[in-house]
Structure 1
């Protein structure tokens, strides 16, 4: 029986009839705009703080120089000469977002150069352009007095980050309110701690931080054939020069024409999650290339392709191999949950299957770190793989991944068939919320089928198992199947050996006139013995005749 409140909730969220749905909310766009404004405000507030402490005479002198120049409003990426000179700097990190700064610049005075979107104002109108930012680790810590908006860090006690826009004038570079210099290098040297001619407050740079081991230049990547294409861009085969070796890689490219701060953050969020993962059932992450456009995510190349494609093309996969696919995916998801990662998009299309038959989880574009996550912005979701509680509350937890895993098992045992095929998103939601779940195909072992129906496809997440339970359940099943297969193989070998022996006896029998090999050999020995006795008897007779003849003589 339908509940009117739940029906209303479901209907409000139902829009498209495809495999994904747009949940309409404009918070994401607002967040992006707020981020841009905060970054601009951060730079301005920091620069104002420096202005107050600078020598007034030098400030007036500097302003007179800047006033005679023209502020350049051109996007830095479109300034070809400047853009190339930036790429030549060993401490230039390209489009690296501020979210990644905390793992790179950790000590007071550490700094790097990067490019980001900033908010501009011209003739009363707000605009967006990409400009050069100097990011530096401050001497202050989060939660201490003097905490400013620009010095962001989420964890109390961590050092704050200052992000200062390097303003470009006609033939000069400056931090707002500071001296102008003919080159960026000269500007950095002026603010270095070794410059005793500058005031103490303006000497805050110590150590330039070069590219990390997971940051690559585009020259280290050689692109090959295209493997696929999506909304983000495309995936190509590639060869990565890494630690003096050449590695085959899958290069996930974000097209430059579609690049903005939000897309960069989404891409780098995926890279940040994968950076520390190391498991045979999770696609390996090599690094990123963000120094120039297009941006790359560099991943392990899995030659077998997507799991759903493999299942659709190979219709006679053994039951043992199918259960092995489920176990591999379960072990990969168990590892992610142990590392506090919610995947949020578990499906056969997001798994790769290697030529040595290993399932590897991939596509972490929706993944988050934490024990739960509530969707608060517009985002496409895979409706037919969602858990009941996600449909009704928009919450994701490790247990919602477990439900999606059960749906993926359906795909595996139905030869890659899409779940709820021919059923609309709206009807799928109603079915799942009211406990009408998928029925596992007969190709799934009965014991495993019952486990999925009773322990995974349940509406109440409290009654749903965790991935540790799933792995513990599947392992003995596959061990029993391996043992049964081994016994069957031994029986087949024994039967073949028996048949071979019978054939050999038949051949020997035909050669020896119908006797068995044993009787044939005995007959041969008897014949030899009789021949020897005859020779002996003949020899004795000949001896007797000789003796008799001698006596007579």
Structure 2
């Protein structure tokens, strides 16, 4: 999370430089400070770059056995033979893939439908309802062996017809869905896996193909498999194979109450609806009041969150993921969902508190605690002269937050003064987890494989610049640069140096020069602890925290 009320004109020449890193190779890019610095106005006229790291598909993997419906065979016979063979071949080739699934598009010779259903939207009653959606078309590829029990491509959802047309959803339909506890909006694949843990458990969600195309999915667990059905939604009818009703809610109620099988062959029966989790916030409980910043990632707003009867509303910061590049939309939403999933893990006094999120409908919202004094970098620059004891306390707070993140197997990957926030009683908390990752069991590092990842060059460790890797020790290195910032009035590290010179220099052990006023104990921690070129000799964050606390006792 990044905050700012206005751009600092005096510091434009000292803006952060960025570099694309991929497999140890770097490419110079035009500085895009909005990626890390939020201002009320975005003055950049250049094309912005969006992060692609950590991207996870929003489309869930299916594992089920299915029989091709008879109508598929009829439709198949009407298709062009050559194209039909290509589709069949594609199905066979994809069976063994474990990648995130994709929806197979309609063959060119199938009729296209573009139905626009206009529905007057009452913005006061339903302010969050998407105004317009474009219809979705998808096709289920028939198997060669129709009529026999055969496993279909795991990457394909179950649909009742050879192509599915989902009309534009009216505000009425969306408003109704948001009232249902089993409707979760957009979810990551890992979240779906965790939520569908018991036999017969189910939920309804949105599956986005791109900014215009989406599906309404009924996901459930049956025996050992998680199965995902596509609902055919029209204005006055919802269909799932042989089951029909006038609305999604009515269809779910009918299936659940009468214990009707969802599929004629699989005999799947709904049993237990999975309710929204505590972190999935109802938008009716959120009041947005003032925009306080924006950047490439989206916007930051100030607001309040209702706490129920008898409790006072709490002030919050609201992050709204956005992008002007429509091709980056899914990546931005996916990254926001990944950030939410990661922040749910953390609960520490020196880590910005996460209250929840809403991905039921646009705009998508991430809710966090509101900082009293904004980001640490602007706070230090604004004060100009701060007592060394206060600066040390800021560093200790940040170190404790980072120690906690590492204890949860997290790597922040973007530790800097701009990504720390100042709260009441001068407490500092680490924020902005857009780049952060959680290491899986057995992993010791995160390898950057994106070809278009923008990273803050001046805070990167030698091993990151050489090998494109991130570890707990690369966070320690970045913390050393943060410590340097604090005791040098939050100046830009390596200011007035060319990007190419910084890369070569850091790889060879170059360190930023400290002001003569910086205490020698702090210089020692920066240069001879945090910024050691060899990561094996670099202390852990826990060791750095203890060293800083020891200095505090002596002061």
Q: Give the TM-score normalised by structure 1.
A: 0.70
Deviation at 1:217, TM superposition (A): 1.3
Corresponding residue for 1:130?
214
Give the 3 Å change call, closer, same or farther, for CA 216–386 of structure 1 in structure 2. Answer: same
- Secondary structure of 1:214's counterpart equals coil
Of stretches 431-440 and 304-313 in structure 1, the one that deviates more from structure 2 is 431-440
In the alignment, the residues of structure 2 paired with residue 30 and residue 236 of structure 1 have an alpha-carbon distance, to the nearest angstrom, of 26
Give the 3 Å change call, closer, same or farther, for CA 10–410 of structure 1 in structure 2. Answer: farther
Tell me, yes or no, if the aligned pair for 1:195 and 1:203 is still in contact at 8 Å.
Answer: no
Q: How does 1:371-382 map to 2 (within 5 A)?
A: 371-377=444-450, 378-382=452-456
Corresponding residue for 1:335?
404
- Secondary structure of 1:436's counterpart equals coil
In the alignment, the residues of structure 2 paired with residue 197 and residue 456 of structure 1 have an alpha-carbon distance, to the nearest angstrom, of 61
2:512 is the counterpart of 1:438: yes
Corresponding residue for 1:85?
176
Match of 1:241 among 282, 293, 306: 306
Match of 1:460 among 510, 529, 534: 534
Q: How does 1:495-534 map to 2 (within 5 A)?
A: none
Deviation at 1:201, TM superposition (A): 3.5
- Secondary structure of 2:490's counterpart equals coil
In the alignment, the residues of structure 1 paired with residue 305 and residue 178 of structure 2 have an alpha-carbon distance, to the nearest angstrom, of 19
Match of 2:185 among 94, 112, 115: 94
After superposition, the C-alpha distances for 1:148-190 in whole angstroms (9 at most, x for unaligned) are: xxxxxxxxxxxx4322211235743223x54443332343345
- Secondary structure of 2:536's counterpart equals helix
Tell me, yes or no, if the aligned pair for 1:37 and 1:118 is still in contact at 8 Å.
Answer: no
After superposition, the C-alpha distances for 1:48-76 in whole angstroms (9 at most, x for unaligned) are: 9998679xxxxxxxx9x989xx9534454
Corresponding residue for 1:109?
200
Corresponding residue for 1:529?
none
After superposition, the C-alpha distances for 1:494-550 in whole angstroms (9 at most, x for unaligned) are: xxxxxxxxxxxxxxxxxxxxxxxxxxxxxxxxxxxxxxxxxxxxxxxxxxxxxxxxx
Give the 3 Å change call, closer, same or farther, for CA 14–225 of structure 1 in structure 2. Answer: same
- Secondary structure of 1:72's counterpart equals strand
Corresponding residue for 2:3?
none
Task: With a CA cutoff of 8 Å and minimum separation of 6, indicate the structure with the bigger relative contact order.
Answer: 2
Give the 3 Å change call, closer, same or farther, for CA 335–294 of structure 1 in structure 2. Answer: same
Give the 3 Å change call, closer, same or farther, for CA 102–9 of structure 1 in structure 2. Answer: closer
Tell me, yes or no, if the aligned pair for 2:199 and 2:222 is still in contact at 8 Å.
Answer: yes
Corresponding residue for 1:40?
103
Q: Give the TM-score normalised by structure 2.
A: 0.70
Corresponding residue for 1:155?
none
Tell me, yes or no, if the aligned pair for 1:39 and 1:163 is still in contact at 8 Å.
Answer: no
Corresponding residue for 2:110?
none
Corresponding residue for 2:501?
427
Match of 2:426 among 354, 357, 361: 357
Give the 3 Å change call, closer, same or farther, for CA 282–9 of structure 1 in structure 2. Answer: closer
Deviation at 1:297, TM superposition (A): 0.6
- Secondary structure of 1:93's counterpart equals strand
Give the 3 Å change call, closer, same or farther, for CA 51–203 of structure 1 in structure 2. Answer: farther
- Secondary structure of 1:14's counterpart equals strand
Match of 1:16 among 6, 29, 36: 29
Match of 1:208 among 257, 265, 273: 273
Unaligned runs of 5+ in 1: 1-7, 55-62, 120-126, 141-159, 482-553
Deviation at 1:428, TM superposition (A): 1.0
Match of 1:403 among 477, 495, 516: 477
Give the 3 Å change call, closer, same or farther, for CA 280–208 of structure 1 in structure 2. Answer: same
2:229 is the counterpart of 1:182: no
Give the 3 Å change call, closer, same or farther, for CA 411–27 of structure 1 in structure 2. Answer: closer
Tell me, yes or no, if the aligned pair for 2:25 and 2:466 is still in contact at 8 Å.
Answer: no
In the alignment, the residues of structure 2 paired with residue 84 and residue 132 of structure 1 have an alpha-carbon distance, to the nearest angstrom, of 14
In the alignment, the residues of structure 1 paired with residue 189 and residue 489 of structure 2 have an alpha-carbon distance, to the nearest angstrom, of 44
Deviation at 1:26, TM superposition (A): 9.0
- Secondary structure of 1:356's counterpart equals helix
Give the 3 Å change call, closer, same or farther, for CA 231–288 of structure 1 in structure 2. Answer: same
After superposition, the C-alpha distances for 1:473-508 in whole angstroms (9 at most, x for unaligned) are: 111111121xxxxxxxxxxxxxxxxxxxxxxxxxxx
Deviation at 1:81, TM superposition (A): 3.1
Tell me, yes or no, if the aligned pair for 1:71 and 1:168 is still in contact at 8 Å.
Answer: no
In the alignment, the residues of structure 2 paired with residue 110 and residue 33 of structure 1 have an alpha-carbon distance, to the nearest angstrom, of 19
Corresponding residue for 2:71?
none
2:385 is the counterpart of 1:316: yes
In the alignment, the residues of structure 2 paired with residue 291 and residue 51 of structure 1 have an alpha-carbon distance, to the nearest angstrom, of 38
